[in-house]
Each structure stands twice: as C-alpha cells, then as structure tokens.
Amino acid sequence: MSHKASPWVIVLVALLLVCLPAPAAPAESEFRISNLSIFLNDFDVTVQGVLLGAVPSTLTESLHSGVPVHVRFLVELWQQRFRNRLLQSRTIERQVTYNPATKQYKVVSLGGEEREPFMTKQFREAQRVVSELRAGKLAPDAALDPLELYFIRVRADVSLNGVNSWIARWSGEAAESDWVQSPLLTPTRRQ
C-alpha cells in the first residue's frame, strides 16, 4: 500500500517554511546605531553616531578567510511637512579586509567621505574605526530655513563583499539596522 501525502499537507508545510521567520543570529540583536548626535549650527548639518556590532560574529570567520566586509551608512536629511520632504541623502561605505600573511586589518573608505586607510593588528581597533559615523556638511549653506523643522534618519548595513540582499540577510551574510530618527531640529545662526 503506497502512502501519498495530501496536497493540503504539502501546501501547509510549504506555507510554514515561507512564513516562519528565519532564526536570527545573536549578533543581529546587537547590530544597531547608538549615540546619534546632530549638530545644526551656521546652517551646517553634522551627524555623528556609532554602529554597535559593526562586524557581527557571523561574519568574522569569512573576514579572516579573506572575504572583505562592507559597512554602509545611509544618512538622510528631511524637512518636516504635511508630506515630509527628503532634502539630502548620503551613503558612506567602508570596507574591512584581513591579510593573513601580515595579520593586519585594513579599513578603507569606498565612498561618501575622504579618509586615509587605517591599518591595525587589533580586530577591536578595526571594528571601532569602521563603526564610527561622522557625516559633515550634509546640507549646503543657506539651504535650511530657520523657520522650518528638520530631522535626520540613519540606517546601516553590513555584508560580505558588499552584497546586501534579502537572501544574504536570511543566510546570515548580511544584516541591516533599524532606522534611527533624530528629534525635530531648527537651524540656528551664530552671531
């Protein structure tokens, strides 16, 4: 006697596999933006922050085997209105590589900032450098009206070889932080 699975059972199992969330890696819970500070003086917007868990433990083995890890920050300046308006967006991207021959980590900027390459033998130092966010001159001079309200949104992602897709996030080869939004800001001019 052959036993055939009912089509409903197959559909139910397939639905469960699709709908159930993938188990999250413990490092993802620590992957977040912290200490977000916004400086809005003389119509110049500067954003500072720190990405906690910048290189999750799920990616360190790949990093040590020679696969570069990319960290991207997306910084947006918005004007608050009935329909909020995006004024400026900047992507800052960095890459961390490890050279097993010299046992050194190298952090380089790939875009959105000008920064000298940083080399160290300490993983913690490389992680510290790649996790620091500083985006200056986000808005052009005189672009901000002192009577309007503005806010900043920041998000980060980390991935192997710069590939951040839902498949990479599901497999643990990439992670994205939640958006962090600043309180409402009003530009001030120093006398």
In tens, the pLDDT along 77-100 reads 999 888 899 988 999 999 999 999
What span, in angstroms and rounded, lies between the C-alpha atoms of 133 and 73? 8
140 lies in a domain? Answer: yes
Q: What is this structure's pTM?
A: 0.78
**pLDDT (average), residues 6-28:** 56
Tell which wins on pLDDT, 78 or 146: 78
Q: Are 180 and 33 within 8 A, CB to CB?
A: yes
5 lies in a domain? Answer: no
Q: Pairing between strand 85-99 and 69-79?
A: antiparallel
Reported as a pLDDT band with limits 50, 70 and 90, residue 13 is low
Region of 87 on the Ramachandran plot (φ > 0 left; ψ -120 to 50 alpha; else beta): alpha
Query: What CATH number does residue 155 fall under?
Result: 2.60.40.10
164 lies in a domain? Answer: yes
**Residue 47 CA from chain centroid, whole number:** 14
Q: Is the predicted pLDDT of residue 118 greater than 90, yes or no?
A: yes
9 lies in a domain? Answer: no
**pLDDT (average), residues 142-152:** 82
Q: Are 130 and 49 within 8 A, CB to CB?
A: no
Of 10-14, 61-65, 111-115, 147-151, the least confident: 10-14
List phi, psi (to 5°) of 70.
Answer: -105, 135
Percent of the chain topping pLDDT 70? 81
149 lies in a domain? Answer: yes
Residue matched to tokens 């620590």: 30
Q: How far is CA 94 from CA 6, 54, 87, 148, 156, in A?
A: 51, 11, 24, 33, 11
Q: What's the number of domains the chain is made of? A: 1
**pLDDT (average), residues 53-76:** 89
What span, in angstroms and rounded, lies between the C-alpha atoms of 133 and 47? 7
Q: Which domain holds residue 169?
A: 27-181
What span, in angstroms and rounded, lies between the C-alpha atoms of 124 and 55? 10
115 lies in a domain? Answer: yes
Q: Is the predicted pLDDT of residue 131 greater than 90, yes or no?
A: yes
Give 151-191 pLDDT, tens digit per residue.
Answer: 999 999 999 888 888 888 888 888 899 999 998 888 765 54
143 lies in a domain? Answer: yes
39 lies in a domain? Answer: yes
**pLDDT (average), residues 19-34:** 60
Q: Are 115 and 132 within 8 A, CB to CB?
A: no
Q: Name the token pair of 19.
A: 């709908």
Of 20-29, 68-77, 136-145, 158-167, the least confident: 20-29
**pLDDT (average), residues 141-145:** 70
| DSSP state for residue 119 in the 8-state scheme | E
**pLDDT (average), residues 139-155:** 81
SS3 181: strand
